[in-house]
Structure 1
Amino acid sequence: MTGVVFSALAPHPPILIPEIGGDEVKEIAKTQVSIRKLAQEVKEVNPDIIVTISPHGPIFSDAISILSAEILSGDFRNFGRKDVELSYKLAENFTSELTMAANKNKITTARIDEATARKLEVKMKLDHGVLVPMYYLNEVGVNKPIVPVTIGMLSYEELYTFGKIIQLVAERLEYKVAVIASGDLSHRLTETAPAGYDPKARDFDKRLVHYLNTLEVESIFDMDNQLIQRAGECGLRPLTMMLGAMDRLNVEGGVLSYEGPFGVGYAVATYHVKGKKEEVGLLDKLYERKKKRLSEIRSNESEVVKLARKSVEEYIKNREVIEPPAKLDPKLAGRAGVFVSIKKNGNLRGCIGTTQPTKANLAYEIINNALGAAFEDPRFEPVNLNEIDELTYSVDVLGEAKSIESIEELDPKKYGVIVRRGERAGLLLPDLEGVDTAKKQVEIAKRKAGIPIEEKDIELMRFTVTRYK
């Protein structure tokens, strides 16, 4: 049997490496036992190549990347042990075919060679997301050519599709392929967790572990986005690609272990492919669900948001700046500061705004700032024609900003904040995902203004917004 024959999810805490963790490895003994079992299972399957999927290599907003050099190596120097090094041959033929197949299916895939790495200022080294699980494969004598894939910030549907393409390329080339997704679950399980504590983190891990054990893949796609954000995980995208590689395959397996003694969830799961399923795969369902979801968003858009979206779409299609409607909605007749936010697949795609009115009325303010969010936000490439159907918009109309005496007068769900020191000022809107404390809200606003986090001599202002979706 050829094609994808084995898949697995493995965590990647460097402390799992004995040379690094020392006696602390005992704290995650269940994980070590399970990852050794995973490695033994790979050895028994004896794949021709191994596709690794990491969340810690070169990450792009619009592409999946693959490190591409004849010999690929990495070490743990960032964790104090540069002498612990692993090297592998690149599975060149498979990498070339995978890249071409993905790009033909409109999943942008970038091969990172030495010249590209220098240009983009990224490292041509295997990261710890690859190295930790491969350390244990190396321990049992497995050293196969690899395809080191790094996730992109694409939609989960696109990531699942990429996994399916791995499967199809493996079948066409008649390779036996093992897919290892590297990722940790929530980073917010305890008060001492590296990303801080969130009471919802354990709920996320409990649900995801259950769905992985029962292979309720569709339920994973149904998980609440806010819950995902609160978990602070790094494994959902890699495992989504892994699950795509098992689409319409009959597999046996499940979760071997789960624990989180250091505030981070570590799950190990393995799956053996036994053949193909006859029923329809999840891939078609996912795109139909996405299409339906976007259609519902469009049908429920407020007139304010429709104006913002129309501004962007008309400019992309015809390079024309639209005029406000001849008969203005009363909500658009006044004057105020406005922020327009654009998202794609739940991720920010652009946000530009004005803290005070600069145009004759709200309609003009919205049009101007919508175009700024789409084409002038320096953090992102300008929006292009191919993606306009996937974009969602929100418009925040700012109320009057009022000075406050202390951080205790803030509520990140209710109030936005402006932080000033001299000529520098930073603004943060209220009710943003992941911003659940006034302290965090002020720190982010300080960073945006270029004000040191520890600076106490600041002026605080708060404001309310009317948010339109």
Structure 2
Amino acid sequence: MPIQAAFMVPHPPLIVPQVGRGGEDQIIETTKAYEKVADEVAALKPDTIIITSPHSVMYADYFHISPGRDATGDFGAFGAPEVKFNEDYDYELADLIRMKADSIDFPAGTMGERDPALDHGTMVPLWFVRKKYTGGKIVRIGLSGLPLTDHYRFGKLIAEAVNESGKNVVFIASGDLSHKLQSYGPYGFAKEGPEYDERIMEVCGNADFGKLLEFDENFCQKAAECGHRSFVIMAGAFDGLGVKATKLSHQNVTGVGYGICTFYPEKEDDNRHFLRDFEKRIINECKEKADSSDEYVRLARASVESWVKYHVELDVPDDLPSDMLSRSAGTFVSIHKLGQLRGCIGTIAATQDNIAKEIIQNGISACSRDPRFDPITEDELKFLDISVDVLGDTEDIDSPDELDVKRYGVIVSHGYKRGLLLPNLDGVDTIEQQIDIARQKGGIREDEPYTLQRFEVVRHY
């Protein structure tokens, strides 16, 4: 049996009267929409309510499914310990999702529960639902730091498990929108905040789920959104189906966006396999970019592919430009997959006879030895975007005023500890950010004195 309906809802504790103490009146429109969602859930009488929450256990590279037979929680952290929950878990469906993930080596399961208590991203929706419907168990699922495509893929896997279980299931995608909508809000204002809210409400209000995958990660971060990954999992659960969407409300009065939409599946629609179509487009774009790249990037890609496919170090080709064969310099090879960093390793100064050998070695390291990531696999190659930076000479500087995040990279040093950051990186907009990231990469504490060096690069795409 397919998922019967899904609901996109926010989770402000303020909306619970015992927490808001009158403050909830300012979001009455959201409350009324939430009550309609609760009525619709009650009418469906689900056996199970799946809730994806940004505030459940979250890992960078793993989707956590809450284990066990039950869980408790309360709003004590928000001044209302008397508002309590005791929920039974549908451990059978949770285990079926886990087994399906295991069968395809997908990074999801019940390991690593750090805190069994229910989180407010789960409890706020339940506060409304349980006033209207006390039946049904829950499955609680956390998000991850993996790409949006993996969240969509996880939604597809969840839908497969639900179909196989034969249970009557509804899906609640819990998540606030931007937290940077007003200067008086908890995180201040950023222009990306209102842009995010406008886009997400249009996309979800029209069930145009393919566009959820097109949101840039840096844009989402600047908007300080909360629930995007939750919404993407939900979208994946409806892959290949028509969906009737209804926008119930959107409010921006606290500096945080609260949006509520309902979604009901319709007949199968081959035009709504959004992940399939998105990945086809990305593969084509990566191929076109690879075909038009210069010799530096082609060499890096050839090195990566040789190592990933055959575990063989590439020989230096004979037909390279003379600069790559006669000159030595430090280089960095950066690998991105679907907009996210997948590996980046480099050398501050030359360690090889020439730039070509430097690129080959750093290509191998970037795809297989970056300690932040697992080695790249062969099936990932078609999604990779590779760039090469050739570093100029470093020079000592006396002040951050001599830096420019777009033009200069920075090296922060304290004794034997050094941290480097390349220039002109997405999401690094200020000199302070640049220095701080480089300092942390070098393991240099905030209270330790440091010296600065700068360098320029020639970036090849």
Q: TM-score, normalised to structure 1's length?
A: 0.87
Please state if 1:314 is matched with 2:333.
no
Gaps of 5+ in 2: none
Aligned counterpart, 1:88:
87
- In structure 2, which of residues 207, 223, 229 is the aligned counterpart of residue 237 of structure 1? 229
Please state if 1:437 is matched with 2:436.
no
Aligned counterpart, 1:156:
148
Moved more, 167-176 or 42-51: 167-176
- Give the partner amino acid of 2:109: R
- Give the partner amino acid of 1:281: R
Q: Would you say the 8 A contact 2:240–2:273 is kept in 1?
A: yes
Aligned counterpart, 1:134:
126
Please state if 1:39 is matched with 2:38.
yes
Please state if 1:260 is matched with 2:256.
no
Aligned counterpart, 1:293:
285
- In structure 2, which of residues 139, 143, 161 is the aligned counterpart of residue 169 of structure 1? 161
Change (3 A) 1:13 1:443: farther
Aligned counterpart, 1:11:
10
CA distance in 1, matches of 2:105, 2:143: 12
Moved more, 351-360 or 167-176: 167-176
Q: Would you say the 8 A contact 2:207–2:243 is kept in 1?
A: no
Aligned counterpart, 2:50:
51
**Residues 113-155 of structure 1, C-alpha deviation per residue, up to 9 Å, x if partnerless?**
xxx327xxx3333333222222322233435211212223444
Instruction: Give, in angstroms, the shift of residue 219 of structure 1.
Output: 3.2
Change (3 A) 1:272 1:296: same
CA distance in 2, matches of 1:76, 1:308: 53
CA distance in 1, matches of 2:83, 2:324: 62
Change (3 A) 1:84 1:463: farther
SS at match of 2:452: strand
Aligned counterpart, 1:276:
267
SS at match of 1:257: strand
Aligned counterpart, 1:356:
349
CA distance in 2, matches of 1:442, 1:220: 33
Aligned ranges 1:32-431 → 2 under 5 Å: 32-76=31-75, 78-79=77-78, 84-104=83-103, 106=104, 108-112=106-110, 116-117=111-112, 122-191=114-183, 194=186, 197-273=189-265, 275-283=266-274, 284-333=276-325, 334-431=327-424
Aligned residues: 459
CA distance in 1, matches of 2:39, 2:442: 52
Change (3 A) 1:153 1:298: farther
Task: Please identify runs of 4+ aligned residues in structure 1 that moved more than 6 A.
Answer: none
**Residues 299-323 of structure 1, C-alpha deviation per residue, up to 9 Å, x if partnerless?**
2333222222322332233332222
Q: Would you say the 8 A contact 1:186–1:202 is kept in 2?
A: yes
Change (3 A) 1:413 1:361: same
**Residues 172-225 of structure 1, C-alpha deviation per residue, up to 9 Å, x if partnerless?**
433221111112222333445555643222112211111211222233334455
Instruction: Give, in angstroms, the shift of residue 108 of structure 1.
Output: 0.6
- In structure 2, which of residues 450, 453, 457 is the aligned counterpart of residue 465 of structure 1? 457
CA distance in 2, matches of 1:129, 1:360: 56
SS at match of 1:4: coil
Moved more, 310-319 or 174-183: 310-319
CA distance in 1, matches of 2:270, 2:222: 35
- Give the partner amino acid of 1:97: L
Q: TM-score, normalised to structure 2's length?
A: 0.89
CA distance in 1, matches of 2:76, 2:374: 34
Q: Would you say the 8 A contact 1:256–1:270 is kept in 2?
A: yes
Change (3 A) 1:44 1:384: same
CA distance in 2, matches of 1:24, 1:454: 41
Change (3 A) 1:378 1:20: farther
Q: Would you say the 8 A contact 1:339–1:353 is kept in 2?
A: yes
Q: Would you say the 8 A contact 2:45–2:133 is kept in 1?
A: no
SS at match of 1:420: strand
Instruction: Give, in angstroms, the shift of residue 65 of structure 1.
Output: 2.6
Instruction: Give, in angstroms, the shift of residue 234 of structure 1.
Output: 2.8
Aligned counterpart, 1:22:
21
CA distance in 2, matches of 1:427, 1:165: 40
CA distance in 2, matches of 1:260, 1:446: 37
- Give the partner amino acid of 2:260: V
CA distance in 2, matches of 1:158, 1:110: 10
> Sequence identity of aligned pairs in percent?
35
Change (3 A) 1:78 1:327: farther
Instruction: Give, in angstroms, the shift of residue 269 of structure 1.
Output: 1.4
Q: Would you say the 8 A contact 1:62–1:108 is kept in 2?
A: no
Change (3 A) 1:335 1:234: farther
CA distance in 2, matches of 1:197, 1:37: 31
- Give the partner amino acid of 1:227: F
Q: Would you say the 8 A contact 1:154–1:345 is kept in 2?
A: no
SS at match of 2:200: helix
- Give the partner amino acid of 1:207: R
